[in-house]
Amino acid sequence: MVGKINPRYGVEVYVGDLFDVCVKQERDSQQDEHVIILHRDEAKDLIALLQAAISESEEIEQQEAENA
């Protein structure tokens, strides 16, 4: 396993059998787990998208705080 994030629903990241990057999320209330399997190139693209989403989220939060 590469790493794990715990509160809320928790996320586990690991390398799959075919060297793919896997992201697993478990939901305690339903005892379900969901796995996203990405090729390394897709994972790199996802990182860029997540960074953009984080920046946008911060900007929106700041705008809302200023307008409150």
pTM over cut 0.75: no
Chain mean pLDDT for the chain: 88
Q: What is the mean pLDDT of residues 12-41?
A: 88
Q: If we measure between CA atoms, which residue out of 17, 15, 11, 19 comes closest to residue 2?
A: 15
Contact call for residues 58 and 65 (beta carbons, < 8 A): no
Is 1's pLDDT higher than 80?
A: no
* Helix (DSSP H) and strand (DSSP E) numbers for the chain: 1, 4
Q: What is the mean pLDDT of residues 20-36?
A: 82
Q: Between 51 and 5, whose confidence is greater?
A: 51
Measured distance CA(29)–CA(10) in Å, rounded: 12
Structure tokens belonging to residue 45 = 């693209």
